[in-house]
A and B are shown apart, each in its own frame.
Chain A
Amino acid sequence: MTFDKILLAVLAMSITAFYFFWNPAENSFLPSCPFKSLMGFYCPGCGGQRAFHAILHGDFAGAFHDNFLIFIIIPITLYKIILEMNGSASKDVFILRGKGIWIFLSLLVLFTIVRNVPLYPLNQLIPLK
């Protein structure tokens, strides 16, 4: 169990450090999003890496542009990591069940549609290059 916790901590810190020093907007060696390449629309995750980089540098406005879901994902991920480190994962309250799963998926689809509308103010959700 201790090994799992060390692994989790090392992974979380390495990923954070990686995105602090690496700017995905400047040079991206990863393949581009297949959703975007195939259909030309932004997927719900597009801009996520840029948003994480921006937030780590205190650029909250930029992060909001790139992918505002980062403001939801970071607190939830931190919360889950802390619970896991305390060995109290069973107390996790952020668990989707039943209809919650379908509400989550509907919101995801809605976000995908909304962020692709090229009109103000919705166009504020389109990732910056």
Chain B
Amino acid sequence: MQTLQLADGGKRFIAFLIDAVLLWIVRMIIVSVLGAMGIAGFASSNIDMDNMSDGQTAALMAYFMGAGLTIQLVFFVVQVAYFTIMESSESQATIGKKAMNLIVADENGNRLNTQQALIRNVSRIISGIICFIGYFMAFFTEKKQALHDIIAKTNVYTKSV
């Protein structure tokens, strides 16, 4: 029989850092692959860089902005998918959380379904956009919940056997 205890902010922070490093590596791979594709697309366009019309310059800027936006979107989807799939899986934890012996569950300690995990991890945008104050809330709320935990009605627990 394993008992669940609400996890401390400090442990969650370290787990988050581990996941952040892993995701950063994935991000670099995505940037390299999609970036190379973008540059290859540009190289095959036969644009004379020294004599570009204003229209071509604008189109080129739009092309690279679009490429940048695509990379951001792809990375966002990968990030949400990673957290959602791992947290709703049997292990109920991402790699960082596994390392810190943490699991994610609902307020009654039950495993999350995909929908709950998705709500939790999309809500990370709100926690993050206000200068990570939503994340830091785990240090000073009663159930040690971050803002995205409160929104999705979830908790992070320390697993002890």
**How many Å from the CB of B69 to the closest CB on chain A?**
12
Given the known interface contacts A4-B10, A8-B10, the answer about A97 and B142 at a Cβ–Cβ threshold of 8 Å is yes
A80 to B144, CA, bound (A): 14
CB neighbours of A44 from chain B (8 A)? 130-131, 133
CB neighbors of A among B2-37 (8 A): 10
- Interface flags for B117-161 (1: CB within 8 Å of A; 0: not) read 000000000001111110001011110000100100000000000
Whether a CB of chain B sits under 8 angstroms from the CB of A24 is: no
Q: Mark A104-119, 1 if CB is under 8 A from B, else 0.
A: 1100100010000000
Contact A108/B142 with A4-B10, A8-B10, A101-B150 known, Cβ cut-off 8 Å? no
Q: How far is the CA of A84 from the CA of B161 in the complex (A)?
A: 25
Q: Which secondary structure dominates chain B's binding surface?
A: helix
Instruction: Count residues of chain A with CB under 8 A from any CB of chain B.
Output: 22
In the complex with contacts A95-B142, A97-B141, A108-B10 CB distance below 8 A: no
Cross-chain contact B129 with A96 (CB below 8 angstroms)? no
Residue of A nearest to B139 (CB): A80
Select one of A8, A45, A96, A97 contacting B133, CB under 8 A: A45
User: What are the residues of chain B within 8 A of A33 when measuring CB–CB?
Assistant: 131
Contact: A35 with B130, CB < 8 Å? Answer: yes
Interface centre among A8, A95, A112 (most CB of B within 10 A): A95
For residue A45, which residues in chain B have a CB less than 8 angstroms away from its CB?
Answer: 130-133
- A46: Cβ under 8 A from any B Cβ: yes
CB under 8 Å from chain B, chain A span 16-61: 33-35, 43-46, 48
Interface residues of A (CB under 8 A from B): 4, 8, 33-35, 43-46, 48, 76, 80, 94-98, 101, 104-105, 108, 112
Q: What 5 A-B pairs are tightest by C-beta distance, nearest first?
A: A45-B131, A97-B142, A96-B141, A35-B129, A43-B131
